């Protein structure tokens, strides 16, 4: 019954002893089917035992599969025979073989249908269109393969928050390689993307629980991990920021940027370090981006100035009205209709900020002027309320004086009539 | 001028006997002693009731008692109707002020033992008026149909459901259904502007009639001193002396109401959303707080009896004792029995003040 296999004689003796002991305890595993792989390997030390120990949390295990379903062999056989090539044992795949290893099932629609009919089965073919896949074919084994991103033996579904490919974890997973300057030596790409991304609004949104916010794979794709070409960056941002993209494409910048080979949205907003934009970014001020290209006197400069003024006017008008209404409300005046009207001025401010991407001063000013008018009306309503409040207080003073006069009149009448 | 007055009075006297009223008024006397000040509170309560009726009638011209119209109509009154803000705020402030004055009136009458024979019925009608005034407050509070009003009414009417046997029927009767809805609003409006005013007018007429017939009561201590000759029996004519002083007080109250309405207008709030959740810390108006706070302190169950039921029963029994005090204080204002009831009164007053204070802070 003894089989030849690689390893020291001490190892051999150890394994034999364990096998004999386990043979006596070979009860059926928790899953309906017998799994001798896990049963044996979970008692082995170090790296021999780790996969089996991790496997209980693996999605494949939960689907009823065992080690043998990937690595081959016979899960019902308690002997060392379980791992014979005759029984189809494939062993540990080399890194370059991993995509096909996983693809044996994951690219087989009729097989995958049995487990999850809605799962895609083109991941491997998509992978080989990516830089990772292409370089792997050329012999670069430093690139990411399936198990680098999805982990191995404790693979969780992407919808599981503990999965390495869950949206909140994706950036960290990519950063394992892409933020490691030593590892990435030799490749001509920067390694600061993760650090920059962590500062962005998108990272903050994801950290705040919004899993619809973009992470690395949202813009770069996951299996077809091709860096987007300059011409397609605006298309990526536009998937969510549709209005901004549409306006941008029709704007003077759209054609001009394409002609100059500039990366659309990224030119002003950056690709990884996308910070929360402020009104100061537009215009001719110290923080403005427009003046990085435009100079005083050119059309762009003048447009930027007008747009910036429009936004500032609306913001100032809105704040003035808000303050007046707030003061009126605090002194007890009923101004809720005016407050409701003012909210549309705030909406106009948001719309104007989107309209900036048309880089057309007239379009932006149309919206800001509307908002300024609404703000002005609300401000007038606030001032009117304050005047009404003052009128009421003056009226109260007059009434109180009259009442005091009446009361003193009564007092003197009482005194007079009682003295007699 | 005096001649014209005489002629008009004469004309009326020939037809409806107004002269006897004048005669009667001239004869009415108000006793003078160190506790005379408390005599003003009854008249003040009456004055505030008249204010409520007048402002209420004016509000009635614009108010719409439906779930879809109530809040908007109050908003309209507060913002569009000329002096609507004044009338509405005075109505709300005067309601609170009236309840406070009524409490003071009730306790001052109690401590001065004015409920003694022959004034037992005056006390009973007064107590019924007290309950009607609280009902006015409760029903009126819902009418603006804002969040606070809606949920305070929900909590308050929930209590009605705890009465044994009849509780469920009482709750449905009050709410016009199982839940607080627009039907509740219309029903409370009916109570507030028709049923309660009618009842109040009847009882008030009876109460005032009794007061006029039986004259003003003098506290037992003062009575004793007068009998022993230690204090002279002093009084002042009701008309015009006491009445003029009354009117001075009424003017003061009017000024206070105007100031409150102008400087602290009653808030509109947010329109009630029956599907929303009760705001945190929701509580009834201040005059119900002492009962609310007591119920909060009771553990959920005492000897398998639901504590809300126990609390209700407790207050019910206390209320019944309070109403029947004239018949229970059989020593007619002297001796240990009276002192017991004075102590009971001090306890009741202290309890109300302390519980209300705890609820507020």
* CATH number of the domain within which B189 lies: 1.20.810.10
* Alpha helices, H only, B191-334: 196-214, 220-227, 243-263, 289-297, 307-323, 325-328
If contacts are CB pairs under 8 Å, which of residues 315-344 in chain B contact chain A?
none
CA nearest to B266 within chain A: A332
Supply the pLDDT for residue A15: 62
If contacts are CB pairs under 8 Å, which of residues 22-51 in chain B contact chain A?
none
Phi first, then psi, for residue A51 (nearest 5°) are -55, -45
- pLDDT exceeds cutoff 90 at B5: no
If contacts are CB pairs under 8 Å, which of residues 229-258 in chain B contact chain A?
240-241, 244-245, 247-248, 251-252, 254-255, 258
Cα separation, A110 vs A120, whole angstroms: 12
For residues B132 and A25, which has the higher predicted lDDT (pLDDT)?
A: B132
Q: Give percent of chain B above pLDDT 90.
A: 63
Per DSSP, what are the bridge partners of residue B30? B236
Last residue of a domain, one of B239, B270, B301: B270
Q: Which two tokens stand for residue A201?
A: 């609004």
Q: How far away is chain B from the Cα of A384, in angstroms, using its nearest Cα?
A: 12
Supply the pLDDT for residue B20: 66
Report CB contact under 8 Å: B263, A395.
no
Judge whether A409 is closer than 8 Å to chain B, CB to CB: no
Cα separation, B71 vs B106, whole angstroms: 34
Which residues in chain B touch residue A390, judged by CB atoms under 8 angstroms apart? none
Asked whether the CA dihedral B129, B134, B138, B143 is positive or negative, the reply is positive
Query: CB count, 10 Å around CB of B284?
Result: 20
**Maximum separation of any 2 CA atoms in chain A, in Å:** 137
Using 50, 70 and 90 to split pLDDT, how confident is the model at B333? low
Q: Which residue has the tokens 């004239």?
A: B326
Last residue of a domain, one of B270, B299, B328: B270
E-only strand ranges, A132-219? none
Answer yes or no: do B324 and B183 share one domain: no
Cα separation, B90 vs B119, whole angstroms: 34
- pLDDT exceeds cutoff 90 at A222: no
Query: CB count, 10 Å around CB of A335?
Result: 22
Tell me the mean pLDDT in the region A22-32: 50
Answer yes or no: do B250 and B298 share one domain: no
- The answer to whether the predicted template modeling score (pTM) of the entire model surpasses 0.80 is no
Size of interface A-B (CB pairs under 8 A): 54
Supply the pLDDT for residue A1: 46
Query: CB count, 10 Å around CB of B335?
Result: 11
Do residues A261 and A281 touch, judged by C-beta distance below 8 A?
no
CA nearest to A394 within chain B: B262
Cα of first residue to Cα of last residue in chain A, in angstroms, is 137
Judge whether A395 is closer than 8 Å to chain B, CB to CB: yes
Report CB contact under 8 Å: A417, B263.
no
Q: Choose the closest CB to A411 out of B79, B248, B265.
A: B248
Task: List CB contacts of B345: < 8 A, sequence separation 6 or more.
Answer: B107, B110, B111
Report CB contact under 8 Å: B263, A332.
yes
Answer yes or no: do B164 and B17 share one domain: yes
Answer yes or no: do B216 and B344 share one domain: no
Domains, chain A, in order of start with CATH, read: 1-92 (no CATH), 303-419 (1.20.140)
Supply the pLDDT for residue A208: 93
Answer yes or no: do B263 and B296 share one domain: no
- pLDDT exceeds cutoff 80 at B130: yes
* Alpha helices, H only, chain B: 2-16, 18-27, 40-60, 70-79, 84-111, 120-142, 147-160, 167-175, 182-190, 196-214, 220-227, 243-263, 289-297, 307-323, 325-328, 335-360
- pLDDT exceeds cutoff 60 at B168: yes
**Helix or strand holding residue A416 (H, E):** helix A361-419
- pLDDT exceeds cutoff 60 at A32: no
Answer yes or no: do B25 and B153 share one domain: yes
Tell me the mean pLDDT in the region B282-293: 88
Mean pLDDT, chain A, rounded, equals: 88
Do residues A116 and A105 touch, judged by C-beta distance below 8 A?
no
Phi first, then psi, for residue B140 (nearest 5°) are -70, -30
CA nearest to A402 within chain B: B255
Judge whether B72 is closer than 8 Å to chain A, CB to CB: no
Do residues A198 and A212 touch, judged by C-beta distance below 8 A?
no
Task: List CB contacts of B75: < 8 A, sequence separation 6 or more.
Answer: A334, A336, B268
Task: List CB contacts of B189: < 8 A, sequence separation 6 or more.
Answer: B65, B139, B143
Per DSSP, what are the bridge partners of residue B302? B305
Answer yes or no: do B216 and B321 share one domain: no
Using 50, 70 and 90 to split pLDDT, how confident is the model at A93? very high
For B351, the domain range is: 289-361
Do residues A200 and A210 touch, judged by C-beta distance below 8 A?
no
CA nearest to B250 within chain A: A407
For residues B157 and A6, which has the higher predicted lDDT (pLDDT)?
A: B157
* B278 domain-assigned: no
Cα separation, A335 vs A322, whole angstroms: 11
The closest alpha carbon to B348, from B317, B326, B327, belongs to B317
Tell me the mean pLDDT in the region B212-240: 88
CA nearest to A397 within chain B: B259
* B175 domain-assigned: yes
Answer yes or no: do B85 and B220 share one domain: yes
Cα separation, B59 vs B51, whole angstroms: 12
Report CB contact under 8 Å: B255, A393.
no
Per DSSP, what are the bridge partners of residue B236? B30
Interface test with B, best of A404, A414, A419, A420 (most B CBs within 10 A): A414
Answer yes or no: do B187 and B307 share one domain: no
Taking the mean position of all CA atoms in its chain, how far away is CA A60?
27
Answer yes or no: do B102 and B47 share one domain: yes
Q: Which two tokens stand for residue A265?
A: 């949205």
Q: Which residue has the tokens 């505030």?
A: B48
**Helix or strand holding residue B31 (H, E):** strand B29-32
Residue A96 buriedness (CB in 10 A; 0-12 / 13-18 / 19+): middle
Phi first, then psi, for residue A416 (nearest 5°) are -65, -50
Supply the pLDDT for residue B19: 63
* B282 domain-assigned: no
Q: Choose the closest CB to B75 out of A334, A393, A414.
A: A334
- Whether residue B118 is preceded by a cis peptide bond, meaning omega within 30 degrees of 0, is yes
Range in A5-9, A242-246, A339-343, A391-395 with the lowest mean pLDDT? A5-9
Length of chain B measured in residues: 361
Cα separation, A194 vs A199, whole angstroms: 9
- pLDDT exceeds cutoff 50 at B32: yes
Interface test with A, best of B251, B264, B270 (most A CBs within 10 A): B251
- pLDDT exceeds cutoff 60 at A27: no
Instruction: Name the pairing type of β-strands B301-302 and B29-32.
Output: unpaired
Instruction: Name the pairing type of β-strands B305-306 and B301-302.
Output: antiparallel
- Domain count across chain B: 2
| DSSP structural state of residue A226 | P
Last residue of a domain, one of B237, B270, B303: B270
Answer yes or no: do B263 and B300 share one domain: no
Q: How far away is chain A from the Cα of B68, in angstroms, using its nearest Cα?
A: 17
- pLDDT exceeds cutoff 50 at A341: yes
Phi first, then psi, for residue B301 (nearest 5°) are -140, 135
Q: Give percent of chain B above pLDDT 70.
A: 97
* Alpha helices, H only, A287-360: 299-330, 336-355
Judge whether A332 is closer than 8 Å to chain B, CB to CB: yes
- pLDDT exceeds cutoff 90 at B199: yes
pLDDT tens, residue by residue, A116-150 = 999 999 999 999 988 899 999 999 999 999 999 99
Answer yes or no: do B210 and B298 share one domain: no
Do residues B99 and B92 touch, judged by C-beta distance below 8 A?
no
Judge whether A387 is closer than 8 Å to chain B, CB to CB: no
3-state SS class at A275: coil
Do residues A285 and A210 touch, judged by C-beta distance below 8 A?
no
Phi first, then psi, for residue A238 (nearest 5°) are -70, -10
Do residues A188 and A135 touch, judged by C-beta distance below 8 A?
no
Tell me the mean pLDDT in the region B178-186: 95
| DSSP structural state of residue A357 | G
Cα separation, B50 vs B46, whole angstroms: 6
Report CB contact under 8 Å: A414, B78.
no
Residue A110 buriedness (CB in 10 A; 0-12 / 13-18 / 19+): exposed
Length of chain A measured in residues: 420
* B355 domain-assigned: yes
DSSP codes of every residue in A22-88: HHHT----SSSS--HHHHHHTTS-HHHHHHHHHGGG-HHHHTT--HHHHH-S-TT--SGGGG-GGGT
* B277 domain-assigned: no
pLDDT tens, residue by residue, B62-92 = 999 999 999 999 999 998 999 999 999 999 9
Task: State the number of CA atoms in the 13 A half-sphere of A63 facing the CB.
Answer: 17
* B279 domain-assigned: no
Phi first, then psi, for residue B234 (nearest 5°) are -110, 155
| DSSP structural state of residue A396 | H
Do residues A413 and B247 touch, judged by C-beta distance below 8 A?
no
Supply the pLDDT for residue A23: 55
The closest alpha carbon to B162, from B68, B274, B298, belongs to B298
Which residues in chain A touch residue B78, judged by CB atoms under 8 angstroms apart? 334
Phi first, then psi, for residue B263 (nearest 5°) are -95, -30
Tell me the mean pLDDT in the region A205-218: 91
Which residues in chain B touch residue A399, judged by CB atoms under 8 angstroms apart? 255, 258
Give Rg (Cα) of chain B.
23
């Amino acid at each position: 019954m003894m089989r030849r296999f690689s390893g020291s004689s001490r190892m051999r003796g150890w394994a034999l002893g364990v096998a004999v002991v386990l043979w006596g305890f070979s009860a059926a595993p928790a899953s309906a089917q017998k799994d001798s792989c896990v049963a044996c390997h979970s008692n082995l030390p170090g790296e021999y035992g780790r996969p089996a120990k991790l496997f209980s949390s693996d999605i494949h295990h939960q689907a009823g599969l065992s080690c043998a379903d990937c690595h081959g062999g016979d899960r019902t056989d308690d002997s060392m025979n379980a791992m014979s090539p005759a029984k189809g044992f494939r062993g540990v795949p080399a890194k370059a073989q991993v995509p096909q290893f996983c693809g044996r099932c994951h690219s087989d629609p009729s097989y995958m249908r049995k487990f999850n009919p809605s799962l895609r089965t083109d991941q491997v073919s998509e992978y080989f269109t990516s830089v990772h896949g292409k370089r792997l074919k050329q012999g670069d084994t430093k690139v990411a393969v399936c198990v680098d991103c999805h982990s191995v033996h404790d693979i969780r579904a992407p919808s599981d928050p503990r999965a390495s490919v869950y949206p909140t974890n994706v950036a960290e997973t990519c950063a394992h390689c892409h933020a490691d300057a030593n590892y990435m030596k030799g490749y001509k790409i920067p390694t600061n993307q993760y650090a920059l991304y962590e500062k962005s609004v998108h990272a903050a949104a994801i950290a705040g629980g919004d899993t619809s916010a973009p992470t690395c794979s949202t813009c770069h794709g996951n299996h077809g991990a091709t860096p987007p070409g300059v011409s397609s960056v605006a298309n990526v941002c536009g998937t969510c920021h549709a209005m901004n993209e549409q306006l941008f494409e029709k704007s003077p910048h759209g054609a001009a940027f394409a002609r100059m080979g500039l990366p659309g949205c990224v030119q002003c907003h950056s690709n990884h370090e996308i910070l929360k934009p402020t009104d100061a970014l537009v215009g001719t001020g110290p923080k403005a981006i427009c003046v990085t290209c435009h100079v005083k006197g050119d059309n762009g400069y003048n447009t930027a100035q007008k747009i910036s003024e429009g936004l500032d006017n609306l913001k100032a008008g809105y704040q003035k009205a808000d303050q007046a209404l707030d003061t009126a409300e605090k002194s007890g005046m009923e101004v809720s209709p005016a407050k409701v009207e003012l909210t549309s001025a705030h909406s106009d401010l948001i719309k104007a900020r989107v309209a900036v991407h048309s880089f057309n001063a007239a379009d932006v000013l149309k919206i800001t002027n509307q908002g300024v008018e609404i703000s002005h009306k609300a401000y007038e309503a606030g001032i009117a309320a304050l005047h009404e409040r003052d009128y009421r207080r003056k009226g109260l003073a007059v009434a109180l004086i009259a009442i005091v006069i009446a009361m003193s009149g009564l007092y003197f009448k009482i005194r007079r009539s009682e003295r007699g | 001028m005096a001649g014209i007055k005489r002629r008009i009075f004469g004309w009326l006297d020939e037809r409806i006997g107004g002269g006897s009223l004048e005669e009667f008024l001239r004869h009415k006397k108000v006793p003078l002693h160190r506790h005379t000040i408390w005599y003003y509170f009854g008249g003040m309560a009456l004055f505030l009731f008249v204010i409520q009726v007048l402002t209420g009638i004016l509000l009635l011209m614009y108010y719409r008692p439906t779930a879809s119209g109530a809040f908007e109509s109050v908003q309209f009154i507060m913002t569009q109707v000329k002096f609507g803000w004044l009338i509405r705020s005075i109505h709300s402030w005067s309601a609170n002020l009236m309840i406070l004055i009524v409490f003071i009136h009730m306790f001052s009458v109690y401590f001065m033992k004015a409920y003694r024979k022959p004034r037992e019925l005056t006390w009973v009608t007064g107590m019924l008026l007290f309950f009607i005034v609280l009902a006015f407050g409760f029903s009126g509070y819902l009418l603006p149909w804002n969040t606070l009003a809606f949920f305070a009414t929900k909590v308050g009417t929930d209590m009605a459901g705890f009465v044994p046997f009849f509780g469920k029927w009482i709750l449905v009767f009050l709410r016009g259904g199982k839940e607080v809805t627009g039907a509740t609003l219309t029903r409370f409006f009916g109570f507030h502007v028709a049923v309660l005013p009618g009842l109040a007018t009847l009882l008030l007429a009876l109460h005032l009639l009794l007061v006029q017939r039986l004259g003003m009561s003098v506290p037992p201590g003062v009575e004793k001193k007068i009998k022993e000759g230690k204090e002279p029996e002093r009084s002042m004519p009701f008309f015009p002396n006491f009445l003029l002083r009354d009117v001075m007080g009424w003017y003061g109250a009017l000024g206070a109401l105007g100031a409150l309405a102008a400087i602290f207008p009653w808030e509109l709030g947010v329109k009630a959303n029956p599907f929303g959740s009760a705001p945190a810390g929701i509580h009834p108006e201040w005059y119900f707080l002492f009962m609310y706070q007591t119920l909060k302190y009771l553990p959920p169950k005492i000897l398998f009896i639901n504590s809300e039921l126990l609390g209700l029963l407790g207050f019910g029994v206390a209320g019944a004792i309070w109403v029947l005090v004239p018949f229970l204080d059989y020593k007619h204002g002297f001796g240990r029995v009276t002192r017991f009831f004075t102590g009971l009164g001090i306890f009741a007053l202290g309890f109300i003040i302390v519980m209300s204070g705890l609820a507020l802070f």
